Amino acid sequence: MLEVKDLRYAVNNNGASQEIIPAMSYRFQKGRFYAITGPNGSGKTTLAKLIMGIYAATAGKIILDGVDITAKPVNERAQAGIAYSFQHPARFKGITFRELISIAANTDDATEILRLMKRVGICSLSHLDIPVDGKLSGGEIKKIELATTIARNPKVAIYDEPDTGIDLWTIEPMVKLIKNEQVNHGTTTIVVSHNKAFLEAADTVLILRGGQFFFDGTFAEALPHLNNISVCDYRTCGDKTYDECFR
Ligand SMILES: Nc1ncnc2c1ncn2[C@@H]1O[C@H](COP(=O)(O)OP(=O)(O)OP(=O)(O)O)[C@@H](O)[C@H]1O
Ligand SMILES: [Mg+2]
């Protein structure tokens, strides 16, 4: 189980403290599939980066299978079994698809590397030895990011908007792939997404607003919260409503 307990993340905004995650407590049960959605800027990526250790919590705890990992750096959290697929993956000059997947999967076997590439929808043999640099398309870089996360076979996999820039033909197989990893490996799966396909595939949908989960339930139960509500209804700035902020 992955638990966040009174987790808080605040930043210094021109001398004033800005609460991005005010105080969050939640238990992600082992082997379940969670979809986290919410308006832009509601704190989804911040929460993911806090769990991975890319951001240091201002207060609170992060506990994985009973072990307090709050003070552990990214590499130790990765060794403990947490993997994070970035919303905006890094590009590496000179490092190829083959090398990146080889490191993540801990294998030099080209057949295994190609199999992983094919699973995320990269079907061209010629991609094996091209660099993961600025020349790659937006969708290609997201696919390789997904492949490296799956290759690690993590206990907890966090995918931050895995479908951004992904073509129509790849989204459905991607949902199935992530679901299969959850079912076959018992991976605790957290997908940050605005896509209905991921929300439907999840066991639990969480809606984040102002750094807090205000909904926790099934997709069917989430629907009234997702339909016919303007994004502005969800936005706040401090204790003001979105409309008040821009009046
Ligand atoms: N280091 C920082 N300094 C100041 N503000 C920050 C910092 N990091 C995040 N924020 C702000 O915190 C809020 C939450 O950002 P975050 O990236 O977590 O949103 P998100 O829910 O992932 O949004 P999106 O759907 O657009 O990806 C945003 O308003 C962002 O500008
Ligand atoms: Mg984000």
Residue ranges covered by each domain of the chain:
30-218
pTM of structure = 0.91
Q: Is the CB of 42 under 6 A from ligand 1?
A: yes
**Interval between CA 51 and ligand 2 midpoint (Å):** 14
Domain 30-218 CATH superfamily: P-loop containing nucleotide triphosphate hydrolases (3.40.50.300)
Q: Is the CB of 11 under 6 A from ligand 1?
A: yes
- Whole-number Å distance, alpha carbon 9 to ligand 2 midpoint, is 15
| Tens digits of residue pLDDT in 129-152 | 999 998 889 889 999 999 999 999
Of all protein residues, the one whose alpha carbon is nearest to atom 17 of ligand 1 is: 45
CA 94-128-195 angle, to 5 degrees, is: 95
Spacing, Cα 108 to ligand 1 middle (Å): 38
| Overall average pLDDT of the 6-14 stretch | 94
123 band by pLDDT with thresholds 50, 70 and 90: confident
The predicted-structure confidence for 149-181, as pLDDT tens digits, reads as follows 999 999 999 999 999 988 898 899 999 999 999
